Amino acid sequence: MMKKLILSVSVLASSFLLKAQTTEYYPLANPCDPDKVFEKLPPASHDNNCVFILRIQSQPFNQLPKEVWRYPNLKELTFQNANISTVPVDIYLFRDLEVLDLSNNNLASIPATIGEMKKLRKLILRNNKLTSIPSAISNCTNLEELDITGNPINYLPNEINSLQALRTFKFSGNKVQNPIDMINLVRQMKNVTNLDMSGCNMNYIPSDIKHLKNLKVLNISNNNLHFLPYELGQLSNLETLIIGDEGNNGNKIFDLPTSFANLRNLKTLQASNNGFIDFPMVLTSLKGLENLDLSNNLLQYIPAEIAMMSHLNKLNVMNNRLQSVPVEMRELSSLSQFDYSGNNFSSEEQQKIIQILTGETEVKPEPPVRKQMRKKSRVPKTIKRKK
């Protein structure tokens, strides 16, 4: 009997050890949520070490509240539209901060201590009262995006050229006294791929823009441009060019240089609110162009050669002076959206457009509409091709 008991205990112990060896134990989950966004200051009972993202908007603090220094692990600090007029020199204490957004405030200066924030990747200072930025910003070696849109900037330090990690530079809404000086400054930022110089009151684009070889996105809308330089065609990596958009004034450009044929990587051209009377024929050679916006111009026709733009996906010609479209548009097999309201199309021509883009062979005629009513009720037209 004793032998049987010992044997049973031995078997039980062996099975327990085997089970213990095959069972996986997981540590307790970290109570901190690194993706949690706080839109107001956390309560006092909250673990301050677990606050990583603080995004506060439209709360008139007038200054950075002292409570923010309780959160040593902040990765992102956003205070937008908070009526803040100064940034304390102690801002450098946020050693791990990667994103600092102080847009839409009343800042007149930024302390030089910002240069000690080595992990800073994005600095967004839109719509303040800054006239310059400190040269110490050159020490922010990981800075990828600098947005100083909408400030009365009249001086930029040459040290900004040493920001080798900088990819996006937004200078929109500032007054450029000398476009040549501006381009010469930007050309030193060898790695910038996204440049926004919209609304800078520029009368021309210098030929030196040809040196910005790495540009992929260029926004020069809302200036006083009448033409674009031939050298713009040397930006072979350009993918998006904005010379006018729906939300802002465009320029006064009425034609594009023949060098545009070299922009083989261009996928998006926004040229709304300009002075185009004729469709820019050079665009028909850009077979890779996918999105084309020529709305709010003075276009009188679309050429049959548009059929050559085989990758065209979206075409916007709203609010021009068009009376017809070429049947060759039927060849645009990639076209999925065509916006054409605000033109002088007859009801017959509108039916023709629908037939061309939807592939319908028979179209029921619209009921007759009195001419007076037709002029008053221009319904926005957008055709989306059936897949």
What CATH class is the domain 33-125+132-143+154-164? alpha beta
In this prediction, residue 190 carries a pLDDT of 79
**In the predicted structure, residue 377 carries a pLDDT above the cut 60:** no
For residues 387 and 381, what is the distance between their CA atoms, to the nearest angstrom?
Answer: 19
- Structure tokens belonging to residue 289: 């162009």
Where in the chain are the domains? Answer: 33-125+132-143+154-164
**In the predicted structure, residue 61 carries a pLDDT above the cut 90:** no
Give the pLDDT mean for 25-32: 51
pTM: 0.83
> Could you tell me the pLDDT band of residue 26, with boundaries at 50, 70 and 90?
very low
The one-letter amino acid at 117: M
319-332 pLDDT per residue, tens: 999 999 999 999 99
Selection from 21-30, 224-233, 355-364 with the highest mean pLDDT: 224-233
User: Where is pLDDT greater, at 183 or 129?
Assistant: 129
270-279 pLDDT per residue, tens: 999 999 999 9
The closest alpha carbon to 183, from 215, 157, 148, 207, belongs to: 207
For residues 342 and 224, what is the distance between their CA atoms, to the nearest angstrom?
Answer: 25
For residues 269 and 264, what is the distance between their CA atoms, to the nearest angstrom?
Answer: 12
In this prediction, residue 386 carries a pLDDT of 57
**In the predicted structure, residue 376 carries a pLDDT above the cut 60:** no
Burial class of residue 178, CB neighbours in 10 A (0-12, 13-18, 19+): exposed
pLDDT above 90: percentage of residues in the chain: 67
